């Protein structure tokens, strides 16, 4: 594993592993024990330009390559990941503080999305559309957009980089990838190395490890990329969208959430507890779909709360390399400090801490809070960590109002003994995704993934990848002669 952090602590531009030319280094730390994993000299604006230029040069030939040949690269990519699964697991644990459970979850999904990318290479289809003009043939071609810029986050960096990179490449585009500076290996150079070893031609995937303090908006303003795929916070996403719009680029934004898991009066309480605990605390709560809020019908609130708190107390926090650990560290000290402030603010506003987890360095133990005032801003914002808010409600109408009372609309879940009641409830929620009798954290390769409101723009997965990473071109053919009015 250590060789990954040594060998891959570089930029990857035009098929070459090389050092950045910036004046400072990004230091990659293990968030659990603070060990220095890698030191990477950052890429400058010049290197960003070189990466995009390389991508543009390589893309034309790649787009002209038989899609069956493109598909073969992703078949090999899948085999490479399967062969190196143990090493990749170790890197996820070391760089992210991900537990064994989390690493397995991320790798499973990464392989599933690669299987979909294999099929996606053959998915683009053209059309012949009727014309009101005699003798006219309207052909609609679906073509790659050209070059795609991908910005990936720190929470599921390997999966969420591949999730945009593989489909964009499979559809005939080239890509420049900028991983989060806290996960430069998992989210960046490891992805490049795997695709390189799988036979992806040079220049088609470039990785620039850098920071906006060095490059500003150069990555998204650059004239070459036609689409920017960004996964991260809504604050940064708003800025990305603004810059893209000003430069006539398409943006695909997968942003934050403030999901609620709702327990109706006829729910299976034990099952709802299991779903809620997983939905809030998986990967330390650092998941955009995580259930920040757990809304429970007042008639079953006492039973649910007792069982929920009891289960949370069993979650082992500690070293993520220990297979028994459920709660590892959050990604950095800023996140830990923010979570500490959130809990203290809730208590200051009148909330009761049913579980008040301690914080040691980046290890944030689970907390469960109840009694937060209805007008608290904490109930409307994303909390990216292992802190749950329990909120009682009286009847479905109030539950719907509470779930929608947030600027976000990504995911959610409802538990009920009546499936159609659950579906009718879900239809009233302003989200891109909602689940009946399950958790809030789900992603599947062929189901449209994305949010409403501040949770993003556009969708990923399956057929929606065609909308994200290809464009339509109308070519008409006039058989015979047109008549012109003058």
Known catalytic residue: 396?
Answer: no
For residue 422, give both structure tokens: 């659950």
Give Cβ neighbours of residue 341 (< 8 Å, ≥ 6 apart): none
**Among the options 50, 116, 244, 288, which is catalytic?**
288
**Among the options 50, 95, 196, 254, which is catalytic?**
254
Known catalytic residue: 254?
Answer: yes
Contact in structure between 262 and 301 (CB atoms under 8 Å): no
**Would you name the residues annotated as active-site residues?**
254, 288
């Amino acid at each position: 594993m250590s060789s990954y952090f040594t060998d891959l602590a570089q930029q990857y531009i035009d098929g070459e592993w090389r050092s950045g030319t910036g004046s400072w280094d990004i230091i990659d730390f293990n968030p659990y024990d603070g060990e220095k994993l890698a030191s990477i000299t950052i890429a400058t604006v010049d290197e960003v330009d070189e990466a995009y230029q390389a991508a543009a040069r390589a893309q034309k030939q790649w787009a002209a390559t038989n899609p069956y040949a493109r598909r073969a690269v992703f078949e090999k990519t899948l085999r490479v990941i399967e062969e190196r699964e143990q090493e990749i697991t170790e890197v996820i644990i070391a760089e992210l503080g991900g537990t064994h459970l989390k690493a397995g979850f991320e790798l499973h999904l990464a392989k599933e999305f690669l299987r979909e990318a294999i099929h996606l290479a053959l998915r683009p289809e053209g059309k012949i559309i009727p014309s009101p003009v005699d003798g006219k043939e309207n052909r609609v071609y679906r073509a790659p957009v050209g070059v795609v810029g991908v910005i990936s986050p720190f929470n599921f960096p390997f999966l969420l980089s591949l999730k945009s990179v593989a489909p964009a490449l499979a559809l005939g585009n080239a890509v420049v990838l900028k991983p989060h500076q806290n996960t430069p290996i998992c989210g960046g150079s490891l992805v490049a190395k795997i695709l390189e070893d799988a036979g992806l031609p040079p220049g088609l995937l470039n990785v620039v490890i850098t920071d906006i303090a060095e490059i500003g908006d150069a990555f998204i303003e650059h004239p070459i990329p036609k689409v920017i795929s960004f996964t991260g916070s809504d604050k940064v996403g708003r800025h990305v969208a603004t810059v893209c719009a000003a430069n006539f680029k398409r943006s695909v934004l997968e942003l934050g959430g403030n999901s609620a898991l709702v327990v109706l009066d006829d729910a299976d309480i034990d099952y709802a507890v299991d779903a809620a605990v997983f939905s809030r605390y998986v990967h330390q709560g650092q998941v955009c779909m995580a259930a920040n809020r757990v809304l429970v019908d007042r008639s079953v609130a006492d039973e649910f709360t007792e069982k929920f708190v009891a289960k949370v107390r069993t979650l082992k926090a500690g070293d993520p390399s220990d297979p028994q650990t459920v709660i590892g560290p959050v990604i950095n000290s800023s996140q830990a400090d923010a979570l500490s402030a959130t809990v203290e603010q809730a208590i200051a506003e009148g909330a009761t801490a049913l579980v008040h987890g301690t914080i040691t360095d980046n290890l944030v133990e689970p907390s469960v809070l109840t009694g937060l005032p209805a007008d608290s801003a904490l109930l409307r914002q994303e909390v990216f960590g292992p802190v749950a808010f329990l909120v009682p409600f009286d009847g479905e109408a109030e539950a719907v109002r509470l779930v929608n009372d947030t600027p976000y609309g990504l995911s959610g879940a409802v538990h009920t003994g009546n499936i159609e009641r659950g579906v009718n409830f879900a239809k009233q929620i302003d989200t891109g995704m909602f689940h009946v009798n399950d958790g809030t954290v789900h992603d599947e390769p062929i189901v449209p993934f994305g949010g409403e409101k501040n949770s993003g723009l556009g969708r990923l997965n399956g057929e929606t990848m065609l909308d994200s990473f290809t464009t339509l071109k109308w070519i008409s053919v006039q058989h015979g002669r047109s008549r012109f009015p003058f």
